[in-house]
Structure 1
């Protein structure tokens, strides 16, 4: 389901995540400088940029891997400085990286609960509750619209799009309020990308705030409510859906005037005329 523009706030609830003029330095290198964004419940904020634009650094700050050096980072209105990914998870921020942390030979249900396996019994009789994990995995995937024939199959046998969808359903099940998706469609074809975007929209419709990191403006515009454009670690633009059309978003993403300049530089020089003798060299 396509996104609409960001709806007007009906209450005074602060954004789930808010960054204001956030900067990150590695020695003398400015990885991010003056970046701001908002993530609201039931919305998708798209962060667009080419390689080296600062997207990875931004993810690491929101996910608790790195701390920002300047600016303000707030979760539900409370200014914070996350010390670890576990703390981010405890605060409701789940990050799904492009290279999914799955064990390919383990079944889907085992990957779904990896690190958070429920048990039954006590003492020496304590064991994994396999039936609960199987049933829960199947039910949660179905709830997100993912109909897997067999949750016992190794997750490595699923397509890239299906694995992304399992990771999204897992984050929703374990209570994430904010879902950060790192280039979920980067290595996928058109059909599989469409499948993933469908489940990204399902997470949005379940009330999560979603941060979609991508270099594809077409994918972003299909589902996004807000757009933040990064270029060499700084903000090149910040728009809501009603403020920008797809062609303008694509132009800004592609570099706009820089691309026009490049096209002039690459334009072929006019061929010398062959009329009236040999071309001059």
Structure 2
């Protein structure tokens, strides 16, 4: 990612006196948002404190503490609860955090209908990002072939989700994102912290990490929060239509995603995507070849000069 983001390391760039606490004055340039520095001990302490708070209090902390804050969402139940909670926070600070929606072009019709309902209900800006160069399914299949999710699922995740997310973070100057992940969703999410910093330096806040599906659904019902109609048909976690199925009684909440595959994340929350690594390796090889070519050209010129002398 090209935009400057957070870091959480044991040793990191030494901040100036003005930056030492992660603070810069209001006179700082808006074009270059304040960077926040988290050492690992600091991050551990923050999580130990936020762990004790209700989601609304965590959201208040985010609003007052983190510049460049957005919410990434596929409009699942947890994300919808976050949107509703933000809209009801009291105080002078901005509460309607802009949303980032990754439109893979393969969402259910019910999901697209829900996006419109959320826009009307809350008036929150929704930034929609699609696969590069694609506005329709036809565009996507022309560029990448038919059923890419079957022929190369990691490439599909990259072009449909990871690259659009990276583009959104860069263009919108995203420094931190609210997510809808919870520990009760199982899989790799079972040991989620409230606040994480990924390998790319992006800070991720999981304000409802402590909640169960039952708690989320109870909030939705009590507050009349709009939700995806598919949840009334046995679905609990909704993604693309080609990789989402209803969940049977007793199954994990996300067991309907990528059924039959050894997979629990799409790549956005899995920084070690093998395809992303492949791209990095290819770029490194390209650069090495370019250096070799330039060195060979220089050697040839020197030999020519020597012969002409």
- Between 1 and 2, higher relative CO (CA 8 Å, sep ≥ 6) is seen in 1
Common fold by TM > 0.5: no
Higher strand share: 1
Higher helix share: 2
TM-score of the aligned structures, taking structure 2 as reference length? 0.28
TM-score of the aligned structures, taking structure 1 as reference length? 0.30
